[in-house]
């Protein structure tokens, strides 16, 4: 019995040393809270080109985006990811004045959604706003995307000013999909300031 207690004591000491010197695997390293992720997320318009995000990491971000809820779980949102220099350059030409803000990005992600899914059931429109529900669900996926990216230490910029027809050609996006936004993904070069928000009581009403 004494031997068992001695072994447990040694194991505890080793575990303590590991926690003190284990780097990123250390129990002392804490993941950011949801509130910290939300507070640090910004629309970033200046990227550090010396730091790159891998395709595997982009896949992890998009896997979380896919967990977003959607109408009858139809998952109408699609993603088209430009990571090669050629494709990134082509997408840059389709985002107007935002082009000059994208140097150093690791990826440009185009979102779209399939028409006739959200807001419909068995091919029949079930709500007066119809495909607007598809835009709603695409927005939910985008919210998951940018928050997961920030949780991983990445930064984003959602761009609504884009040439949808050009993007459709670049990625061969079918006509049954509505092209929504272009999302930049990379590492911030500097910390942007927090924009002002409307007074809380102007946007929230309790009854």
Give the model confidence (pLDDT) of 22-40 as tens digits: 444 545 678 899 999 999 9
Q: Where are the domains of the chain?
A: 1-30, 32-191
Q: Is pLDDT of 162 > 60?
A: yes
Q: What is the pLDDT of residue 3?
A: 38
Q: Is pLDDT of 7 > 50?
A: no
CB 101 within 8 A of CB 156: no
User: In the predicted model, what is the mean pLDDT of the chain?
Assistant: 89
Homologous superfamily (CATH) of 32-191 is: NADH Oxidase (3.40.109.10)
- 3-state DSSP percent of the chain in helix, strand and coil, to 5: 45, 15, 40
User: At 187, which helix (H) or strand (E)?
Assistant: none
pLDDT in tens, 167-194: 999 999 999 999 999 999 999 999 988 9
Conformation bin of residue 45: beta by default, left when phi > 0, alpha when psi is -120 to 50 = alpha
Q: What is the pLDDT of residue 27?
A: 52
Q: Where are the beta strands (DSSP E) in 5-160?
A: 77-82, 107-114, 120-121, 124-125, 155-159
Q: What is the mean pLDDT of residues 149-166?
A: 98
CA 18 to chain centroid: 33
For residue 110, give the nearest of 51, 163, 180 by alpha carbon: 180
CB 158 within 8 A of CB 146: yes
For residue 81, give the nearest of 188, 162, 166, 182 by alpha carbon: 182
What's the token pair of residue 198?
Answer: 């409307």
* Strands 120-121 and 107-114, bridge-based pairing: unpaired
Q: What is the pLDDT of residue 29?
A: 72
Share of the chain above pLDDT 90, in %: 82
Q: DSSP assignment, residue 99?
A: G
Q: Is pLDDT of 6 > 60?
A: no
């Amino acid at each position: 019995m004494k031997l068992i207690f001695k072994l447990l004591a040694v194991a505890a000491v080793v575990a303590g040393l590991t926690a003190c010197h284990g780097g990123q695997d250390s129990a002392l390293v804490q993941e950011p809270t949801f509130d910290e992720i939300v507070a640090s997320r910004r629309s970033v318009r200046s990227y550090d080109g010396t730091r790159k995000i891998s395709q595997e990491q982009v896949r992890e971000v998009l896997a979380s985006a896919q967990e977003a809820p959607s109408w009858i779980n139809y998952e109408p949102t699609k993603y088209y990811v430009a990571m090669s220099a050629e494709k990134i350059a082509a997408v840059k030409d389709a985002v107007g004045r935002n082009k000059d803000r994208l140097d150093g990005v690791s990826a440009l992600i185009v979102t779209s959604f399939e028409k006739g899914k959200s807001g419909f059931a068995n091919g029949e429109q079930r709500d007066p706003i119809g495909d607007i529900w598809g835009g709603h669900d695409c927005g939910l996926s985008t919210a998951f995307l940018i928050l997961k990216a920030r949780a991983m230490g990445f930064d984003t910029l959602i761009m609504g000013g884009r040439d949808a027809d050009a993007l459709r050609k670049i990625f061969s996006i079918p006509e049954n999909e509505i092209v929504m936004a272009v999302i930049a993904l990379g590492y911030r070069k500097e910390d942007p300031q927090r924009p002002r928000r409307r007074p809380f009581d102007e946007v929230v009403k309790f009854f």
